[in-house]
Structure 1
Amino acid sequence: MENWLMLLLLAIAFTGKAVVVSAAAAAYESPQFRVVHLESDFEIRLYMEISWMTALVRGTSFENSTKRGFHRLYQYLQGANRNSTRFFMTKPVLTSIIPSQRGGSPSSYIVRYYLPAEYNNKSPPPPSAELNLQLDKWKSHCIAVRKFSGYARDDNVEKEKDALGSSLGKRLMQGVDQNQYYNYSIAQYNASKHPTGRINEVWIDVSGFADEGCPV
């Protein structure tokens, strides 16, 4: 029952609309990974190949941009694509923050929907042109992950990124490009109306981390 409720709330939270789902949607699919390095406050995960459908959003607010981007992605999930294919919800909803070239607040965000693993080896149906969505395929690589609870908001996501960057700098300086600290993503696993037991993560790409299994 809880899985059903979470799925409904996630769609409602980002779109403001109710949605009917089937029993098959009760189990969420997520990207596959294995942990290759573990610390008390973060871990390094080796992710397999991942396919995302993405929405680029111009703006300076993480929260508003995530909602706007997911609204477009939600239409794709509900059949706004060439084959009118409907997709089940997956997790997490991932928002990548693109820093401004002039410094200061971010100027754009990429909101990502994880495409089920079957689309790693085949192309998903193209989205309707008016949605302005793009397919993005990630090769297998390592990501540093720091978990945090509560809500991911404009006033805390950068602090969480800085905390992860500080931990990486202290422990893994030789394996991490310092410039990557400014490019990060926020993974959200719960609907906004799910107030307790929330799981969020900040992700930083650590390609080249010299640990077992991480591609250089």
Structure 2
Amino acid sequence: MSSLLESRMEITMNLRCCLLLMASASLGGCWEAPSFCSGYDCPVYTVVNTYGSFEERRYEASQWITTDIASTRASDVQAGFWKLYYYMQGKNKDEKETVTTRPVVVSVNEASENGGKQVSISFFISTGIVVPEPNDETIRKKDLPAATVYVRVFGGIATEEDAIENVQKLKEDLQVAGKPFDGTRFEAAGYDAPWILVNRHNEVWVYAA
């Protein structure tokens, strides 16, 4: 009987040790946002592989605030940007400011649910933040599942033409690399405020098929 109790106690202690080790490993493996996020919260991802001209990332599930815009023209993008910016600054039903984050993402979906082309602009919402209720019916919350994304980086003040050109180059490189992808949609991500003129970090994203 005594030996049986000792055996059970030893098993219990071993299990506790294993749990403590797992917890320590989890805390030590906290994700650190890359430098181009400039100290702001960014969507959490893991770099799966780095190729010559693009990177393969695995993004965790994330939440965004988004609004549809008429096109990818600069005037439409700016109108959507400021609408979301003021929402984040407290222009919502809760009159609550939301933590500034990166990036701002313009999404283009050639095969949307309504059968036509859909363009939207989105701001990332930090993990654990309760999204304030919009007072504008054109603003909505968007929950994105975990996904594998191919990313191409470019600099400068990004224009509509720059984004389209870099998306095309990324798709060509993916075809050469034999990487299957969803050709019906892409996203352009900007990590800098509009008034930052130098050392800008821009990305285009294409989703793995």
Task: Specify if TM > 0.5.
Answer: yes
**Where in structure 2 are the equivalents of 1:90-101 lying within 5 Å?**
90-99=101-110
Contact 1:33/1:47 (CA < 8 Å) preserved in 2?
Answer: yes
Q: CA deviation at 1:154?
A: 1.9
Q: Does 1:117 align with 2:127?
A: yes
| Deviation of the 1:126 alpha carbon | 1.3
- From 44, 52, 65, the equivalent of 1:32 is 44
Cα deviation 1:95-148 (Å, max 9, x = unaligned): 1123389xxxx95421001001113xxx512111x3511111011111000000
Partner residue in 2 for 1:72:
83
When Rg is computed on C-alpha atoms for both structures, the one with the higher figure is: 2
Match of 2:133 in 1: 126
Q: Give the Cα separation in 2 of the matches to 1:100 and 1:117.
A: 29
TM-score by length of 2: 0.74
Instruction: Find the counterpart in structure 1 of residue 207 from structure 2.
Output: 205
Distance across 1 between alignment mates of 2:150 and 2:128: 25
Q: How many Å separate the matches in 2 of 1:166 and 1:156? A: 15
Helix, strand or coil at the partner of 1:72: helix
- How many percent identity over aligned positions? 24
**Aligned pair count?**
169
Please list every run of 5 or more consecutive structure 2 residues that lacks an aligned counterpart in the other structure. Answer: 1-37
CA contact (8 A) 1:82 1:126 kept: yes
1:152 is aligned to 158
| Residue matched to 1:168 | 174
TM-superposed CA distance for 1:182, in Å, is 3.7
Q: Where does residue 86 of structure 1 map in the other structure?
A: 97
Letter in 2 for 1:54: T
Match of 2:29 in 1: none
Q: Which has the higher contact order (CA 8 A, sep 6+)?
A: 1
Letter in 2 for 1:166: E
Shift of 1:68: 1.1
Structure 1: which 5+ runs fail to align?
1-25, 208-216
Cα deviation for residue 56 of structure 1 reads: 0.4
**Aligned-residue RMSD, C-alpha:** 2.0
Task: Quote the offset at 1:37 in angstroms.
Answer: 1.5
1:142 to 138, 145, 148: 148
Paired AA for residue 132 in structure 2: P
